[in-house]
Structure 1
Amino acid sequence: MPSSPLTIAIDGPSGSGKSSVSKAVARELGLGYLDTGAMYRAVAWHCLDQEVDLTDQEAVAQAARDLPLEISTDPDDQTLRVGGTDITSAIRETRVTSQVSTVATNLDVRAELRRRQREIISEARDERGGIVAEGRDITTVVAPDAEHRILVTASEEARLARRSTELHGGADADQVEATRDQIVRRDRQDSTVSAFMEAADGVVTLDTSELDFDQVVAAVLALVRGEVEPAQHEEEPATSPDGHAGGPA
């Protein structure tokens, strides 16, 4: 546990490796871990379970506000419950994955989940000494004052290969092509509410295209521990359509 509270915010597109890397970094540093994307998936699951019309933006927003969500911040015990029901695995099902962008592009849903995410981060700083929080707008909108803000990115080819291996167990041409639509479509939809492909001012970019998992974890830890001089983006931060800088879950 660090001597003073620490928040590490890790942003990045689908398939960049931010989730698995964030969890490993949290474990190494003895910090909490928050997967903000899982919270959007939980709202999508809840709407499907309760037969909420996903095209009715106000109904979906109200479902998010009423959601009885419990999310673990233990990197070794990632559980997600809604109303006492464990949905940790269910939120990864195809039916949820195919609808999560509809939820994540709802600005009222985003506002509600940002509020909850900030509360979780604050509690983890008090109770665990800090947290590694990851998501597509975590470095710019949710936790712009984090001690460390990192954009983990990779080439489209690398991201497709990683997600294909995760979903299909391999990355041959057919498996990659089966994954392409999901990755490209998700990026396109989510880019309407966030600019997550380029780092905002003060956010360190880490290109992982040529790195394996252990190398990425080591690179993030080196940045956090001050073992390397970070190359920060110097331009003005991008602004999302809802008026906030940065980029969704």
Structure 2
Amino acid sequence: MTVVAIDGPSGSGKSTISRQVAQQLGMAYLDTGAMYRAAAWWCVRDGIDLSDADAVTDAVRALPLQMGTDPRDPSIAVGGEDVSVLIRSTEISTVVSAVATNLEVRAELRRRQREIIEAARGEAGIVAEGRDITTVGAPDADVRILLVASEEARLARRAREIHGADDDSALAATRDQVLRRDADDATVSSFHVAADGVVTVDSSDLTLEETVAAVRGLVESRQDGRP
């Protein structure tokens, strides 16, 4: 079955678009970014110094993570505890890059991502989204998409998501989180320019529905055998 990989910067709509496309096409869904958030939450909970790369790596290798792949309810649990809400806190958003830029952590979580993707490949197929998924996580995916948007559009979307508004104060409160996270993550992955074989979809001037339709069209073209 079809494997779809969707990459892009913060606020480009990766999660929302991926979930909707997966749900509409009856496919599984994997939020790889949530795996890094769960790893960060696990380390913070245990009081691990995030600047101690070896300690963080050891903790993540022991991380009892369970990733749900139902796009209608993509649950995330650690040791049986639902952390879906906890990992979206400002505290975790602020520190997640310290974990996500650890190369040994990335190698461990990519290994787990590939296991999930391979399991879904033999079933309904899967839409996997997140940093470097098109180039490193799932470079052999049937459909690889880089979802981009202008800085202004990305900031406005994330501000509405976090603060419920996109006025000047909300944008200012969001700017550092979005741009700093991108800058940090760019040190270990590339998600601004499409690699060979990766299709770019620019959602700057598209509605949510239009973007979903564009991505879905690419997936359906591949499923139908069209170039």
TM range (shorter): over 0.9
Counterpart in the other structure of 1:61: 57
> Do structure 1's residue 223 and structure 2's residue 221 form an aligned pair?
no
Q: Distance in 1 between matches of 2:96 and 2:9?
A: 14
Counterpart in the other structure of 2:151: 156
Counterpart in the other structure of 2:132: 137
> 1:222 deviation in Å?
1.0
> Do structure 1's residue 101 and structure 2's residue 97 form an aligned pair?
yes
Instruction: Identify which of 183, 186, 206 aligns with 2:181.
Output: 186
Q: Which runs of 5+ in 1 are unaligned?
A: 228-249
Counterpart in the other structure of 2:168: 173
Counterpart in the other structure of 1:117: 113
> 1:136 deviation in Å?
1.1
The code of the aligned residue for 1:150 comes to I
Let me know the Cα RMSD of the aligned residues: 1.2
Counterpart in the other structure of 2:225: none
Where do residues 225-240 of structure 1 align in structure 2 (5 Å cutoff)?
225-226=220-221
Q: Bigger CA drift: 168-177 or 200-209?
A: 168-177
The code of the aligned residue for 1:38 comes to A
> Do structure 1's residue 43 and structure 2's residue 36 form an aligned pair?
no
Counterpart in the other structure of 1:200: 195
Give a deviation string over 1:68-92, Cα, whole Å, max 9, x none. Answer: 0001000011111111111010000
Q: Distance in 1 between matches of 2:221 and 2:116?
A: 26
Aligned structure 1 segments of 4 or more residues deviating by more than 6 angstroms: none
Q: Distance in 2 between matches of 1:222 and 1:77?
A: 24
Give a deviation string over 1:107-152, Cα, whole Å, max 9, x none. Answer: 00000000000000001112x3210000011000010110000000
Counterpart in the other structure of 2:27: 31
The code of the aligned residue for 1:154 comes to A
> Do structure 1's residue 75 and structure 2's residue 53 form an aligned pair?
no
Q: Distance in 2 between matches of 1:114 and 1:168?
A: 31
Alignment size in residue pairs: 223
Q: Distance in 2 between matches of 1:154 and 1:203?
A: 16
TM-score of the superposed pair, with normalisation by structure 2? 0.96
TM-score of the superposed pair, with normalisation by structure 1? 0.88
Counterpart in the other structure of 1:230: none
Q: Distance in 2 between matches of 1:114 and 1:140?
A: 12
The code of the aligned residue for 2:34 comes to A
Q: Which runs of 5+ in 2 are unaligned?
A: 223-227
Which structure dedicates a bigger proportion of its chain to helix? 2
Q: Distance in 2 between matches of 1:88 and 1:195?
A: 26
> Do structure 1's residue 88 and structure 2's residue 57 form an aligned pair?
no
> 1:21 deviation in Å?
0.3
Q: Distance in 2 between matches of 1:63 and 1:47?
A: 7
Q: Distance in 2 between matches of 1:194 and 1:80?
A: 24
Q: Distance in 2 between matches of 1:75 and 1:225?
A: 18
